[in-house]
């Protein structure tokens, strides 16, 4: 008759795995864990790389360029107003720049200032002893013309030698109130002012006989000066 305890001990010893089997199973479990962890890390890196690619990819013609069609479909397209504005900017950039016309310094007939309708002349008439100078200002226009004056003075005369040295000035030593006034010429109207020169220089000494120039000035603002007009004082060689 066999021992029942001996059978039980044999059955228990056959159900317990060996140490090598336990180590082998543990290694396989650890390898599967490492593989799962590596796979998860790879997926995270792939997703992060795709997101970075989508952010840094330039936008062209209102659409986002992506590496594949599925990713492109996930990005919303530009709205209609923004796309229209982008097309408008693109059209404006393609147009040639406007040409700027530059002049050589002379004004064209359209932009040149209109000529002053007031014609200013001066004349000299012998009046012993001395000369009478007359400043004549005529309005060549058909309409009225008004000029302002910084003082009550309306005219002036200057006598100089042929080489331009000043000899006499009518207004020298005179005082005029600093009152802004005005003068009006009707259409085609002329106005004249006359002053007498006694033949003496501003120093009081008699001028040397000979040829001189006289310049008349309308003392408006701005003033109008005539060209020098020659005359003979006392005797000309």
pTM over 0.75: no
pLDDT digits (tens, 9 = 90+) for 126-151: 887 889 999 999 999 999 999 999 99
- Two structure tokens written together for 217: 């000035």
pLDDT digits (tens, 9 = 90+) for 39-65: 778 878 888 888 777 776 555 444 444
pLDDT for the residue 117: 96
pLDDT for the residue 13: 52
Divide the 237 residues of the chain into consecutive groups of 10 and give the mean pLDDT of each group.
Answer: 58 62 81 79 82 66 45 46 56 52 40 82 90 97 97 98 96 96 97 96 93 97 97 82
Alpha-carbon distance 114 to 96, whole Å? 36
pLDDT for the residue 111: 44
Alpha-carbon distance 103 to 181, whole Å? 39
210 and 235 in contact (C-beta within 8 Å)? Answer: yes
pLDDT for the residue 66: 46
pLDDT for the residue 119: 97
* 178, containing H or E segment: none
127 and 150 in contact (C-beta within 8 Å)? Answer: no
Tokens 């029942």 locate to 4
- Two structure tokens written together for 91: 């059209």
Tokens 């990819």 locate to 57
């Amino acid at each position: 008759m066999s021992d029942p305890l001996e059978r039980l001990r044999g059955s228990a010893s056959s159900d317990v795995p060996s140490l090598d089997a336990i180590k082998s199973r543990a290694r396989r479990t650890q390898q599967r864990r490492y593989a799962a962890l590596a796979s998860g890390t790879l997926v995270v890196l792939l997703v992060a790389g795709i997101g970075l690619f989508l952010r840094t990819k330039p936008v062209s013609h209102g659409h986002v360029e992506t590496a594949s069609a599925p990713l492109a479909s996930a990005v919303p397209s530009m709205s209609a107003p923004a796309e229209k504005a982008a097309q408008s900017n693109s059209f404006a950039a393609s147009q040639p720049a406007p040409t700027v016309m530059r002049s050589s310094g002379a004004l064209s007939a359209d932009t040149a200032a209109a000529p002053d309708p007031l014609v200013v002349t001066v004349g000299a008439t012998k009046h012993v002893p001395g000369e009478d100078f007359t400043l004549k200002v005529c309005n060549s226009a058909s309409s009225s013309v008004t000029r302002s004056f910084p003082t009550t003075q309306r005219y002036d005369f200057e006598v100089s030698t042929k080489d331009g040295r000043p000899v006499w000035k009518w207004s020298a030593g005179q005082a005029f109130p600093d009152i802004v006034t005005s003068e009006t010429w009707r259409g085609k109207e002329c106005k004249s002012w006359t002053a007498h020169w006694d033949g003496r220089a501003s120093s009081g000494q008699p001028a040397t006989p000979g040829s001189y120039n006289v310049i008349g000035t309308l003392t408006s603002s701005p003033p109008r000066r005539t060209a020098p007009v020659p005359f003979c004082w006392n005797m000309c060689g």
